[in-house]
Homo-oligomer: A and B are copies of this chain.
Amino acid sequence: MKLLLLSNSTNAGEPYLGWTKPFISDFLKRNSITEVLFVPYAGVNLSQESLTKSYAVYEEKVALVFKDWDVKLKSIHHFNDPNEAVINAKCIAVGGGNTFHLVAEMHRTGIMRSIRERVLEGIPFMGWSAGANVACPSLRTTNDMPIIQPASFDCLNLIPFQINPHYLDANPVGHGGETRQQRIEEFLSINREIKIAGLREASLIEVENESISLKGYKPLRLFQYGKEPIEIEQGSDLSFLM
């Protein structure tokens, strides 16, 4: 088995895949790889009009890096039969991004099983971030909260929007992972009809029959698909959310 599992694609302030280059290049050369099948399903980008477009942009960005090594990289979303693409692949690379979307698509298409079989047969596999996570036993990423698989994602559905608790504008210094706003944008790009209330610490929402109000000490940041986020102050009418 040949695996290259990278923590992240890019260090803060460096070029895309910058720090990884000596390691990926060595891995490709050692295994005489000239073509790579790329799995872009973790790439969920709100700025693109569709997932196909989002995958194409992701593929182009990664292919540009691999071109320097004379390695041809092609994304699996071009193939009508993704499992056939896996069966014919010489090497597989899985890009980072949203692990849940990646795993959902790998199960939906069936490549979770076919990739495993090919890698156990010996073809080289590389993945960064979410792409490294899928080499593990399960989606319980240990980064966030999915320590257990619930029977369903459905909740009480008492209010029709999602709350983002502990909403925070910034990222820790020197952290190259997604900001909270980026995660929310990923959410919106595949859940376009649902609004998100970014509820900062020391603030709350109170619902009393038809009345809904923002209380506490900080404005709420409202996210909706296709619109700029807006700041809502205490005392504003929130009834449009219900």
Contacts and interface: CB of A to CB of B under 8 A. Distances in A.
Interface string A5-30: 11110010000000110010001000
Interface stretch (A56-64, A72-80, A108-116, A224-232): A108-116
Given A100-B148, A148-B100, A155 B139 contact: yes
Contact of A143 (B155, B164, B172): B164
A137 interface: yes
A88 interface: no
Contact of A156 (B112, B148, B166, B177): B112
A97 to B, nearest CB: 9
Among the interface residues A7, A106, A153, A186, which one has the most CB atoms of the partner chain B within 10 A? A7
A162 interface: yes
A202 B19 CA distance: 6
Contacts of A103: 150, 153, 155
Contacts of A153: 103, 138-140, 146, 149
A184 B112 contact: no
Given A159-B3, A165-B7, A204-B20, A100 B150 contact: yes
A98 B145 contact: yes
11 contacts: A4-B205, A5-B163, A8-B202, A101-B147, A129-B165, A129-B166, A136-B158, A136-B159, A137-B154, A145-B186, A148-B190
